Amino acid sequence: MGRSPCCDKVGLKKGPWTPEEDQKLLAYIEEHGHGSWRALPAKAGLQRCGKSCRLRWTNYLRPDIKRGKFNLQEEQTIIQLHALLGNRWSAIATHLPKRTDNEIKNYWNTHLKKRLAKMGIDPITHKPKSDALLSGTDAHRSKNAANLSHMAQWESARLEAEARLVRESKLRSFQQRLTRPTTTGFKTGWNSVNNAGFGDLESPKSTLTSSENGIGPSSIPMTEFAGTASASSETGIIKQEGEQEWKGLGGSSTNSASFTSTSIHDIGNAMEDGFINLLLNDSISTDPSLSDGGKESDGNSGGSHDHCQDDDDNNNYWNSILDLVNSSPSDSPMF
């Protein structure tokens, strides 16, 4: 798997792009498409490596890019998807129309990560920091320890499920094209994306994107997360089309210790049976201010909440994440 020499080649320019270079690249792609990135620079008359051209195009020049400040909704989306997907920026980016993975990554690193840290939330685990975990009563410590264990279990399951989904989605995508175009609910949602004709759009996305699409059906707007300031319902959870396939997502209180992901033939089932309950029932401690629309904490980060309230908040937080995943890009951001 040799790495391409790329910009190591002598004579190739590096560093910031000039307006002239941008113009050349834009003009060439508009006329010919990018084709082979490696071959593009020579054809376009650029002293750049193909990789540099590709990055410039995907992160800056592409016409469907939205630039500027992230709004509250976008922040919520990033935080909540990050809680679920981790640093899978390209996957997260598919839920944020017109935003690039690079931009999201930068925004996370420069804003959101710090904000969460400031709120006492570990930006990696999206849980209260360890020092917080170690404080409190024995009962709380015990519970937190259990949560850690569950989180590890969940993470493991999630990764495995994701990997499986990548493989299966490709197969299923092909099969679906041959059979039925209709979709309802999350289990087939990704097929709707595939069937919706996105195939002829340029897709620089990796298999992770496929996996991600597999989780989320299309056509559901990313609005109003649980517990957000804008939440419209009592619970803050929007009932989405296809939610019946998520039955029990928020209401069940059965113990999820039996969850295994070794046969996640259908990630929906796996999520139902497994980490959803696990998350919702075991009350993963999360700063409630997170659920507050991603806004800066107003200072009542848990202290004024009783135990039940914490559980509700946690449920809402993770519900909202799952709800979000149950949605998909309102349009195709990248492709």
Partner DNA sequence: AACTTCACCAACCGCTCAACG
Partner DNA sequence: ACGTTGAGCGGTTGGTGAAGT
Considering Cα of 48, then 54, then 58, then 63, what sign does the dihedral take? Answer: positive
* Nearest to DNA of 5, 197 (CB atom): 5
Dist. CA 320–CA 227, nearest whole Å: 8
Dist. CA 226–CA 200, nearest whole Å: 35
Contact residue for DNA among 116, 193, 208, 324 (CB under 7 A)? 208
102 binds DNA, rule: CB under 7 A: yes
Find the part of the chain contacting DNA (CB under 7 A) among 11-19, 133-141, 217-225, 264-272.
11-19
To DNA, the closest distance from the beta carbon of 117 in angstroms equals 12
H or E segment at 122?
A: strand 121-122
> Pairing mode, if any, of strands 127-128 and 121-122?
antiparallel
- Spatial contact of 95 and 216, defined as CB atoms under 8 Å apart: yes
6 binds DNA, rule: CB under 7 A: yes
89 binds DNA, rule: CB under 7 A: yes
96 binds DNA, rule: CB under 7 A: no
59 binds DNA, rule: CB under 7 A: yes
109 binds DNA, rule: CB under 7 A: yes
122 binds DNA, rule: CB under 7 A: no
Among 75, 77, 141, 85, residue whose Cα is nearest residue 112: 75
To DNA, the closest distance from the beta carbon of 102 in angstroms equals 5
Of the chain, the end-to-end C-alpha distance in Å amounts to 27
Tokens of 46: 């650029």
- Spatial contact of 62 and 18, defined as CB atoms under 8 Å apart: no
Contact residue for DNA among 129, 204, 243, 252 (CB under 7 A)? 204
62 binds DNA, rule: CB under 7 A: no
How would you classify residue 154: left for phi > 0, otherwise alpha for psi between -120 and 50, otherwise beta?
Answer: alpha
- 121 backbone dihedrals φ, ψ, rounded to 5°: -110, 130
33 binds DNA, rule: CB under 7 A: no
Find the part of the chain contacting DNA (CB under 7 A) among 1-9, 219-227, 241-249, 291-299.
1-9
Contact residue for DNA among 4, 130, 142, 255 (CB under 7 A)? 4
- Spatial contact of 24 and 31, defined as CB atoms under 8 Å apart: no
- Spatial contact of 254 and 175, defined as CB atoms under 8 Å apart: no
Find the part of the chain contacting DNA (CB under 7 A) among 47-55, 181-189, 288-296, 321-329.
47-55
206 binds DNA, rule: CB under 7 A: yes
330 binds DNA, rule: CB under 7 A: no
Q: Which residues bind DNA (CB under 7 A)?
A: 1-4, 6-7, 13-17, 35-38, 48, 50-52, 54-56, 59-60, 67, 87-91, 101-103, 105-107, 109-111, 114, 166, 203-209
